[in-house]
Amino acid sequence: MTAGRNGKGKMTWGRRGVGCLAAALFLLGALPAPAESPAGESDPAETKAPAWTVSESEAVLKARDITMECEIEPGSKKKQFEAALDRSYRTFWNSNGGKGATITVTLPEGEEAGGVWFQWYDHTHAIAVQIRDENGEWKECGHTEGAFLSDFLPLPERTTEFRVANPESSKKSTPLPLAEFHVYSRGELPPEVQVWQPPADKADLMLIAGHPDDELLWFGGVLPTYAGVQKKKVQVGILVPTLPRRRLEELDGLWTCGVRNYPVFGYFRDGYTLSLRDQYEHWDKFSVHKLVTGWVRRFKPDVLITHDFKGEYGHGAHQVCADAAVKALDQAADPKQFRESYAEYGAWKVPKCYIHLYPENVIDFDWRVPLEEFGGRTAFDVASEAFACHISQQDTDYAVEDFGPCDCSLFGLYRSLVGPDVKHTDLFENLGPVEDEPEP
């Protein structure tokens, strides 16, 4: 979507609809000890569990968000720390640097911390957690690399007090731009906690979109189906990073769909035009092609999918995505083009490329089939719930629509190196494992 259509900031929590995702399950806590058999038991095969035992599933300890139960002592700007606890991505706590860049957390009586989840505001930030050693001195027990806007750090067992600080390896102690801060108790993490994997070394599917939320509005069930259900390695690339809060909304939406590889963002400024030519006036064409070709070489997708050539409702940025993607089919394979990314990643020939609403070799997906992996919700439901994570966009006219002129279920096979689609039901047709010939 375009800039300037943002909402007025609903102060509601933005992670709806992730309940049934197969989220990364971090079993941080110990299970209760198994019940001992009473003495003098007869044949074990006939032994029934006593009524007071719990099933294995019940015994799994569930982590809880206990942030508001903790005593939290920011190292600086204490009155402003509420901004890191208000569950709004519009607000953030920007600490002082140096010794002011700390947060000390004391758990409530009888509670142990399992981990801490950071959501950074406008840039990623490497962060460490410290616990006290036997002399009472703070000692680092783990740190992030600062690769993601959403970072989770597990804590050692029996942590009842910890401190957040810049890593010891950092050359200087810089301010912490923290949009949201969460403390979790020990146990299996709830689905909303994002534990991102790095961008894919080798993607099955790459989706290139203009702005955060375009990958939902115009691609509907693609991400829930291929990332969430089929567990493909799905790499999303967004050309326009827009505002900080929208990048956090983007992560929420992708996580809801089951995407686990961290997305990549381009660096192009938002701007609404209605033609390819005008958009290339706004953005340097060479820079766009260089970036997109570099992405294709880096992520080596089997299937590349992007916007309508006509930009859905006419958006020039969407048209540029389609233009740059199909140009990259040749450019990524040609060692003479964009030699820097060729030297780093080598050439890549994309086996299949689909374009939204392309009128030839069309797949017409049914996004309304209940999916067991999403607890009976459909890919359409999940895409809609993921779009709802984009809180800043909820008072626009946009919605996920698998009907009408921008039907998000229609994709045409623009180019294939693996033969034509015959079944027209799957982006990965002709890419699956080769089945053995049946015995004669």
Contact residues for Ca ion, defined by CB under 5 A? 83, 86, 88, 91, 179
Between vectors from CA 417 to CA 413 and to CA 421, what angle results, nearest 5°? Answer: 45
Q: What is the longest distance spanned by two Cα atoms in the chain?
A: 85
Query: With respect to Ca ion, which residue has the nearer C-beta, 9 or 97?
Result: 9
Min CB(91)–Ca ion separation in Å: 4
Rounded distance between C-alpha atoms, residue 75 and residue 183, angstroms: 17
Query: With respect to Ca ion, which residue has the nearer C-beta, 119 or 331?
Result: 119
Min CB(73)–Ca ion separation in Å: 18
Query: With respect to Ca ion, which residue has the nearer C-beta, 91 or 242?
Result: 91
Min CB(144)–Ca ion separation in Å: 19
DSSP-based three-state secondary structure for 355: strand
Length of the chain: 440
Min CB(164)–Ca ion separation in Å: 16
- According to DSSP, the β-strands at 161-165 and 303-306 are unpaired
Residue 65 amino acid letter:
D
Query: With respect to Ca ion, which residue has the nearer C-beta, 86 or 278?
Result: 86
Min CB(180)–Ca ion separation in Å: 5
Give the count of alpha carbons within 13 A of 147, CB side only. 14
Query: With respect to Ca ion, which residue has the nearer C-beta, 252 or 302?
Result: 252
Rounded distance between C-alpha atoms, residue 256 and residue 247, angstroms: 14
* H/E element, 161: strand 161-165
Min CB(83)–Ca ion separation in Å: 5
* H/E element, 296: helix 285-299
Left, alpha or beta for 397 (phi > 0: left; psi -120 to 50: alpha)?
alpha
Query: With respect to Ca ion, which residue has the nearer C-beta, 83 or 127?
Result: 83
Rounded distance between C-alpha atoms, residue 21 and residue 374, angstroms: 6
Query: With respect to Ca ion, which residue has the nearer C-beta, 86 or 426?
Result: 86
Which pair of structure tokens corresponds to residue 324? 């740059």
Residue with CB nearest Ca ion?
Answer: 91
Min CB(24)–Ca ion separation in Å: 24
| Pair 427, 303: CB distance under 8 Å | yes
